[in-house]
Structure 1
Amino acid sequence: MKFLHFLLPILAGALLGAVIGYFGQCSSGTCPLTSTWWRGAIYGGSVGLLFACLNLRS
Structure 2
Amino acid sequence: MKKWLNSNKLYLIGSLVGAIGGYIYWQQVGCVSGTCAITSKPLNSTLYGSMMGALVFGMFKKEDKKESNQA
Structures share a fold, TM > 0.5? yes
What TM-score comes out, normalization by structure 2 length? 0.63
- Select the structure that is richer in helix: 1
Q: Which residue of 2 aligns with 1:15?
A: 20
- Structure 2 residue 40 is matched with structure 1 residue 35: yes
Equivalent pairs counted in the alignment come to 58
Q: Aligned with 1:56: secondary structure? A: coil
- Whichever of the two has the greater Rg, that structure is 2
What TM-score comes out, normalization by structure 1 length? 0.73
The share of aligned pairs that are identical, in percent, is 28
Divergent runs of 4+, >3 A: none
Unaligned 5+ runs, structure 1: none
Unaligned 5+ runs, structure 2: 1-5, 64-71
Inter-partner Cα distance in structure 2 for 1:35 and 1:24: 10
Inter-partner Cα distance in structure 2 for 1:36 and 1:19: 12
Residue deviations 1:12-57, cap 9 Å, x none?
0011101111232313134221112111111101101211331225
Q: Aligned with 1:34: secondary structure? A: coil
Q: Which residue of 1 aligns with 2:57?
A: 52
